[in-house]
Amino acid sequence: MKACAVIAEFNPFHNGHQFLLKKARTVTNADLMIIIMSGNFVQRGEPALINKWERARIAIDCGADLVVEIPTEYAIESAKEFAHAGIDIAHKLGAEFLAFGSENPNLDFENESKILDRQFSLENKKYNQNFAAQLFADTSIASSNDILGINYAYWNSKLDSKMQLVPIQREQSEHLDTKIEGNIASASAIRGALLKQKDNYQEAIPTRTLEVLTHSKLVSWEDFWTMLNYRLRSSTADELGQIRGIKEGFENRILDVVGDSSSFAELMEKLKTKRYTYTNIQRNLVNIFLNIKPINFSISKTRLLAANSLGRDFIRENELKSVIMTKVTKEDFESDYAITKRADDLYRLISPYQWGNSPIIK
Amino acid sequence: MKACAVIAEFNPFHNGHQFLLKKARTVTNADLMIIIMSGNFVQRGEPALINKWERARIAIDCGADLVVEIPTEYAIESAKEFAHAGIDIAHKLGAEFLAFGSENPNLDFENESKILDRQFSLENKKYNQNFAAQLFADTSIASSNDILGINYAYWNSKLDSKMQLVPIQREQSEHLDTKIEGNIASASAIRGALLKQKDNYQEAIPTRTLEVLTHSKLVSWEDFWTMLNYRLRSSTADELGQIRGIKEGFENRILDVVGDSSSFAELMEKLKTKRYTYTNIQRNLVNIFLNIKPINFSISKTRLLAANSLGRDFIRENELKSVIMTKVTKEDFESDYAITKRADDLYRLISPYQWGNSPIIK
């Protein structure tokens, strides 16, 4: 069986995602669509709107055959780390294709990715989303999807995974668009509408997503404010400085303003500067919240979230049990999966769910 | 002016306290009663029922002239540390007498305290409340008040402070009594009644205390459960093991049971063993909650909470401004007063108060 991988967040799953899965299957003629998905915290440095199990279920119902999880410590990081983890997992699972949404599918992603190699080695410590944007400032590569695509190409080459890259033209809406028009809108526009309790997003998502959203607690940073506020107020600058990604005195800046902040939104407002993007700051805060210290990249296994019978056949035929955790053992929870477990434990304090003892099988 | 010091918690201030202050003033013929009081967290390893400013106000209204604060890191510790801080401060303020409640005022506290010296040096690491109780198991010294008295005597001698010890016979109720009979009851019996919303405690407290209790949010550990639960779930065993007082694998025990605990009471229930008293466990938890690492004893200043005009005269006449913080500076907040500030910041998240910019002057 030939598999096509898609690295995704589905936060939440919308018509654009469904279109991408369909199109990728047609274009590649793959037997199987594998989703490599973020868990309960996502790349923008915030909790996912709905939990990972519900998102995995929707994916299976809407065109995926197998959904596995990106460990949280990589899922919440910049394009470079996020792509590294995604490609590493796709490669381990033996995918032949990697499909992704793109504003400019005609770009030579592989060739463009060489700029990353030069820049990563030159300026390793400075790499962040701001920097990524600057890097491509004079090119036609402006969208975060294309930047992600270039990062995928970079790691595909670096890890020698030899997947065929399949950029799929995105329809209408830009990723960062905040408008909803017709039946295609970005996940961020949909989240915005949901959190503001508007209902104009409904045309832009499949019925299956709508069903889940309607009966779910929608989770946002504000839900974790008491805990984050407590963490910040009970930490010294030195302790915050030991958290991954905190640098250039940002720990002092946080401690200077937290005393006057009475909500997450207020804290963010006070922390914003020209130097740091909203996403950078959120990533710092989620690293503090999850108490993540600097780590070396290492993924030995990925957790199975959901599969249909085709997905299960694929695992069996390719003897992937050593790479895919169908049950998470105590040892996994204490090693590879320790931070993801912590993230899940905390997420469940806000939005309790019963999933998790075993994957969802359809 | 001759001053008599009383080391206290007033959690809450009751008729027994009022009796002690009156009696101490009569017996010593002191011009001035100084209270050296715990702040927002107390020796049993829990938050005070009402905040320190309200408690200091009540004290001034009910017979005290000057109320200063024991820094939080000492106020929440065993009799030894608590007494050390209290005596150190009383000595710095130049008190001539130290009065305290006692079940057996005829005890030779100074002589009895010699046993502590021998035991502290022999078994420094094992000293805790259990141990203190064992130490006096074969003597007539059974009450925690008398154990405290002996600890006062110990430090009075050790610090060469030469205060005259004035044990005052306690009326009726034992400290640990949970019953309320008539107009004398222990603070712990009163707290119990208050938290169970009974009103049989009202005869046992002055009108002044009743007024404050009636309009105050009563604070208990359960109010901090979300924060403590978050702290435990986001910490490794190694990190918990670095907290002051955590030893003998207690960090693993906590992490083993927190996942199944949905309230502070449930966590305590699961943590109780023969080896650890309720108070020991609470002290461990408050050290974790306040993120206190091992520290060396050092008090250079104490914070003024409240004073009447006699109290202010005493500060002026004895040039105590270098020892008493009438205003807390940024430097104080970052050194001597750092942990107390943290404790106050967290306490105020549950029970906001406006006090604190300057002491209460009556």
Q: What is the pLDDT of residues A189-214, one digit of tens each?
A: 899 888 888 888 889 999 999 999 99
Residues A323, A344, single domain; the answer is yes
Q: B74 and B170 share a domain?
A: yes
B338, exposed or middle or buried, with CB in 10 Å at 0-12, 13-18, 19+?
A: middle
- A43 and A178 in a single domain? The answer is yes
In chain A, what residues touch B357 (CB-CB under 8 Å)?
none
Looking at the structure, do residues B57 and B168 belong to the same domain, yes or no? yes
Query: B66 and B18 in one domain?
Result: yes
Q: Answer yes or no: do A200 and A285 share one domain.
A: no
* Cα→Cα distances A166→A67, A150, B2, B284, Å: 19, 12, 88, 56
* Across A269-278, B11-20, B314-323, least confident range: A269-278
Given B289, B306, B322, which residue is the final one in a domain? B289
Between CA A286 and CA A243 the distance in angstroms is 10
Task: Please provide the distance, in angstroms rounded to a whole number, between the alpha carbons at the two ends of chain B.
Answer: 19
pLDDT value of residue B178: 66
Contacts of B346 in chain A (CB under 8 A): 230, 233-234
Q: What is the pLDDT of residues B275-290, one digit of tens each?
A: 788 999 999 999 999 9
Please report how the helices A264-271 and A225-233 are oriented relative to each other, as an axis angle in degrees rounded to 10: 50
Asked which of B268, B289, B310 is the last residue of a domain, the reply is B289
Residues B226 and B124 grouped into a single domain: no
> Within a domain: residue B243?
yes
A244 in contact with chain B, both atoms CB, cutoff 8 A: no
Report pLDDT digits (tens) over B8-43. 999 999 999 999 999 999 999 999 999 999 999 999
For a pLDDT cut of 70, what percent of chain A falls above it?
Answer: 91
For residue B180, tell me if it sits in a domain. no
Query: What does the block give as tokens for A163?
Result: 């997947």
pLDDT digits (tens, 9 = 90+) for A52-106: 999 999 999 999 999 999 999 999 999 999 999 999 999 999 999 999 999 888 8
- Domain stops at, among A289, A311, A328: A289
Nearest Cα of chain B lies from the Cα of A339 at a distance, in angstroms, of: 9
- Within-domain flag for B179: no
Q: How many Å lie between the alpha carbon of B233 and the closest alpha carbon of chain A?
A: 7
Note the pLDDT tens digit of each residue in B247-259.
889 999 999 999 9
Do A321 and A226 lie in one domain? The reply is: no
Pick the closest to residue B80 from B144, B28, B16, B137 (CA basis): B144
B245 and B341 part of one domain:
no
What CATH number did the domain enclosing B112 receive? 3.40.50.620
- Comparison of pLDDT for B137 and A273, the residue scoring more: A273
Q: How far apart, in whole angstroms, are the C-alpha atoms of residue A121 and residue B319?
A: 63
- In whole angstroms, what is the distance from residue A263 CA to residue B211 CA? 32
- The first and second tokens of residue B72, run together, are 């939080």
Measured between CA atoms, the residue of chain B closest to residue A290 is B234
* Number of separate domains in chain A: 2
Boundaries of domain holding A8: 3-218+297-361
- Is position B194 within any domain? no
d(CA A5, CA A161): 12
Q: Is residue B99 a part of any domain in this protein?
A: yes
CB contact B200 to A (< 8 Å):
no
A259 touching B, CB under 8 A? yes
Flag whether residue B231 sits within 8 Å of chain A, measured between CB atoms: yes
Token reading at A113:
């990715």
**pLDDT range class, residue A184, cuts 50, 70, 90:** confident
* Cα four-point dihedral sign B281, B287, B291, B296: negative
Q: Answer yes or no: is B98 within a domain.
A: yes
